[in-house]
Amino acid sequence: MRIAAITLLIMACSAASALARHGHMHGMSPRGGGAFGIVSAYEARMAAWMRREQIAANIHQAKNNVNRMKYAAQARQHGKMRLAATLYMRVALSRPKDKHHDEAKKALGAMADEGRKAMKAADELLQQDQVIEAFEKLDYLKWAYEVVPVFNHEIAQHVNKLHRDPHYQAVLNEPEAAKLLAMGRKHEQDDEACCAFLVYEQAAELVPAASAKQAGERLAALKKDPEIVAAAEECRTVRKCLDTFHRAELVKKSLPNRAQELFKQIVTEAPRDSEVRRCAAEELAKLHVRSKPRN
């Protein structure tokens, strides 16, 4: 019994050592689904704006300047400012000029004045230290009025300058940095130091946020352990290969040659005994069989 217990203990220690050396993602299968990386708050908001305004679909419906002016007025009335501006600009640039040309230019001028008022209101929120709310409005204005002559440059310069201010950077980056810091700590609690390492790297890039500074300090501590550094680099490689695997899966039927290239890339780059490499080799073999000419 004592020998058996010692044997089990040795096996457990060996497994733990292998895990630290390889990183816990070494055995992760690409067929489990999931995606890595976190979409920024701005990108998420922009996607929501695009869905709300359905710009491409609405522009496609407007076949002539009469319809464009009609749809632009409706869009403006419903707060779909980018759609309205895009339609007005199409009318203003259309050739030959018609009776709607000057009307569209006048509407764009009015939209510029409205945009300046909205920008001033957002700046007032900044003065009240409502930073998140102010930047949500300012970022929207920059996006929505991108094609409105003159004001598009005014709002872009104004917003870009504010985004470079360290005080505002700290406030704006803090929610994302705090989320990543919490993720990193959870990985450490789960003995996934390699993933914690990578998450802390992401969080540390969000300085001067307070949580980013804490993540940077923890990252510096992890870097002192060569085994964790090696495991993190392997984890980084496996994550990259998992992403490549999913891209290959998407094009496997429509672009089999491209899929073959991607699977070959995984086989070359992934750790030899990793699960993602094994799965990529299997898919590569299947594609090779399908590509063989039939007698």
Whole-number Å distance between alpha carbons of 37 and 198: 11
Residue 33 lies in a domain: no
Do 202 and 270 belong to one domain?
no
Q: Which two tokens stand for residue 59?
A: 């522009």
pLDDT tens by residue, 59-117: 777 789 999 999 999 999 989 999 999 999 999 999 999 999 999 999 999 999 999 99
**Highest mean pLDDT: which range of 7-16, 55-64, 276-285:** 276-285
> What's the average model confidence in pLDDT over 159-163?
96
Residue 25 lies in a domain: no
Residue 29 lies in a domain: no
Do 246 and 184 belong to one domain?
no
Residue 2 lies in a domain: no
> What's the average model confidence in pLDDT over 210-216?
97
Domain containing residue 48: 41-164
Helix (H) or strand (E) holding 118: helix 101-127
| Domain termination site, one of 136, 164, 192 | 164
| Domain termination site, one of 112, 144, 164 | 164
Q: What is the DSSP letter of 62?
A: -
Q: What is the DSSP letter of 86?
A: H
Do 84 and 153 belong to one domain?
yes
| pLDDT for residue 23 | 59
pLDDT at 51 > cutoff 80: no
Do 51 and 106 belong to one domain?
yes
pLDDT at 213 > cutoff 80: yes
> What's the average model confidence in pLDDT over 136-141?
96
Residue 15 lies in a domain: no
Residue 181 lies in a domain: yes
- Using DSSP's 3-state secondary structure scheme, residue 246 falls into helix
Do 132 and 179 belong to one domain?
no
Q: What percent of the chain has pLDDT over 70?
A: 82
Do 183 and 140 belong to one domain?
no
Q: What percent of the chain has pLDDT over 90?
A: 75
pLDDT at 221 > cutoff 80: yes
User: What is the number of domains present in the chain?
Assistant: 3
Helices 131-144 & 41-53 angle (0-180, nearest 10): 50
The residue count for the chain: 295
Do 206 and 131 belong to one domain?
no
Do 257 and 203 belong to one domain?
no
* Residue 291 pLDDT grade (very low, low, confident, very high; cuts 50, 70, 90): low
Whole-number Å distance between alpha carbons of 21 and 19: 5
| pLDDT for residue 14 | 36
Do 160 and 49 belong to one domain?
yes
> What's the average model confidence in pLDDT over 155-163?
97
pLDDT tens by residue, 10-42: 233 333 334 444 555 665 666 654 333 334 566
Do 272 and 242 belong to one domain?
yes
| pLDDT for residue 25 | 61
Residue 151 lies in a domain: yes
Residue 55 lies in a domain: yes
| Domain termination site, one of 164, 186, 211 | 164
Do 52 and 96 belong to one domain?
yes
pTM of the model: 0.68
Q: Which residue stretches of 145-255 are H helix? A: 151-163, 166-189, 193-204, 210-222, 226-251
Whole-number Å distance between alpha carbons of 17 and 244: 28
Q: Tell me the CB-side half-sphere exposure of residue 268, using CA atoms within 13 A.
A: 7
Do 206 and 287 belong to one domain?
no
